[in-house]
Amino acid sequence: MSTFLLVHGAWMGAWCWDKVILHLQNAGHKVVAQDLPGHGQDQTPIAEISLQAYTERIISLLDASAEPVVLVAHSMGGIVISQVAEARPDKIKSLVYLTAYLLPDGQSILSSSDSDSQIPTILEIRQAEGVAALNAEGMPAVFFDDCSQEDIDLALSHLRPDSLAPLATPVAVTEDNFGRVPRFYIECLQDRAISPTKQREMYTGLPCQKVVSLNSSHSAFLSRPAELAEHLLAF
């Protein structure tokens, strides 16, 4: 039995993993998913949200685990698990990036260009509030193109504006810590949020032990939960 710790991406929450959790638990594994600060049911004020706050939330879960975990991240959550691996490499069995930001030392999400991403078409930056919000009307085509209407409605009812601070914070990782944790990548070939070209660029720049593909949108945890769980179990 393994312990899987699942980290959601921007605008999302732990709720997005519910379908995947069922598959992993049915296979006999322990699964933990928790809201990052300011996401889902967590009410942390925007002014208190940072990449460090995200990292500390996940570290607290790692420290409470009796064994090393398989640490899985979606999208923005990639920068979180990279920072966690830098801080607690011995507490992690492997890192899995699901169409997630796998960035080199010194790079932030906002400084990482993706000319094929459609997020800018629905993105609203509110500098005075320190938040990045999304146009709900345009979200299904960018994030949930292959999802059922029921899942789209569920997602839209849970989504919240995101803090700009973590998106602008460069990742700080080293080969001695982050670099020695085995990592895997799951690319989503129909992703319009983080383009397949960008995903390929990231896992080529920081090579992974294995890369597998899902013919899905950005939200494979909703549209392809069984297939996604199978890949996680195979890793």
Contact between 235 and 96 under an 8 Å Cβ cutoff? The reply is yes
Contact between 194 and 118 under an 8 Å Cβ cutoff? The reply is no
What local confidence, expressed as pLDDT, does residue 228 receive? 98
pLDDT digits (tens, 9 = 90+) for 29-72: 999 999 999 999 999 999 999 999 999 999 999 999 999 999 99
Domain boundaries, the chain: 3-234
What local confidence, expressed as pLDDT, does residue 51 receive? 98
Indicate if the pLDDT at residue 159 is higher than 90.
Answer: no
What local confidence, expressed as pLDDT, does residue 1 receive? 86
Give CA–CA dist 33/55, Å, rounded: 14
What local confidence, expressed as pLDDT, does residue 204 receive? 98
pLDDT digits (tens, 9 = 90+) for 7-38: 999 999 999 999 999 999 999 999 999 999 99
Contact between 176 and 84 under an 8 Å Cβ cutoff? The reply is no
pLDDT digits (tens, 9 = 90+) for 205-225: 999 999 999 999 999 999 999
**What CATH fold (topology level) applies to the domain 3-234?**
Rossmann fold (3.40.50)
Tokens 């997602």, residue located: 155
